[in-house]
């Protein structure tokens, strides 16, 4: 099972961002993901706008908010070789059309290779399970500005036994 910590790296995490809209949250995730996607590609092949467009296109199919202030905007991209994620926490939640009506302040942006059907669903299910834990969400929310590396280290810890 692919863990969140395997999909992230500290450079793709931002804590307590001052973001006021869903659109800006998606742009920020796109900007964090772009250097990892563009690596090894020609300059014309991809950009943070391509990633942003892919996330927005998926979002138009229905909100990727899971409830409890959490969303997992995600998309498939043909020119990536393995799943990648970026994570942001927001200082205040934004309207995200969540099923529970709560504002979203925790977002994990996920990109997977085009042909990665089963793994894509497995990662989404794992993220939904992980973020359904109130203690885990509260711990993630507690990391402040300039604590991306600390959050990354926290995410690498094994989950407590149930």
Distance between first and last Cα of the chain? 18
Whether 72 and 110 have beta carbons less than 8 Å apart is answered as yes
Query: How would you classify the pairing of strands 104-113 and 70-71?
Result: parallel
In the block, tokens 């899971």 appear at 66
Which pLDDT score is estimated for 38?
72
Per-residue pLDDT of the chain (162 residues; tens, 9 = 90+): 788 999 999 999 999 999 999 999 999 999 999 998 876 555 545 567 799 999 999 999 999 999 999 999 999 998 899 999 999 999 999 999 999 999 999 999 999 999 988 999 999 999 999 999 999 999 999 999 999 999 999 999 876 655
Quick one: pLDDT at residue 161? 54
Q: What is the pLDDT of residue 162?
A: 52
Between CA 45 and CA 43 the distance in angstroms is 6
| CA-wise closest residue to 4 among 143, 141, 126 | 126
Distance of alpha carbon 150 from the chain centroid = 17
Token digits of residue 65: 């908010």
Residues acting as catalytic residues: 74
Give dist(CA 140, CA 3) in Å, integer: 15
**Global pTM?**
0.92
The domains located in the chain, with CATH, are 4-152 (3.40.930.10)
Pairing outcome for strands 70-71 and 84-94: unpaired
Res 40: pLDDT: 53
């Amino acid at each position: 099972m692919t863990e969140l910590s395997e999909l992230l790296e500290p450079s793709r995490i931002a804590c307590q961002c001052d973001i006021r809209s869903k659109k800006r949250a998606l742009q920020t995730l796109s900007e964090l993901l772009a250097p990892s996607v563009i690596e090894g590609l020609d300059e014309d092949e991809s950009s943070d706008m391509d990633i942003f467009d892919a996330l927005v296109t998926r979002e138009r199919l229905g909100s990727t908010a899971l409830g409890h202030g959490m969303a997992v905007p995600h998309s498939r991209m043909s020119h990536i070789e393995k799943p990648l994620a970026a994570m942001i926490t927001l200082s205040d939640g934004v309207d995200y059309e969540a099923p529970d009506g709560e504002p979203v302040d925790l977002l994990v942006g996920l990109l997977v290779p085009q042909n990665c059907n089963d793994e894509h669903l497995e990662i989404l299910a794992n993220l939904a399970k992980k973020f359904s834990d109130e203690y885990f969400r509260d711990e993630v929310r507690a990391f402040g500005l300039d604590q991306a590396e600390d959050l990354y280290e926290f995410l690498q810890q094994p989950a407590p036994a149930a």
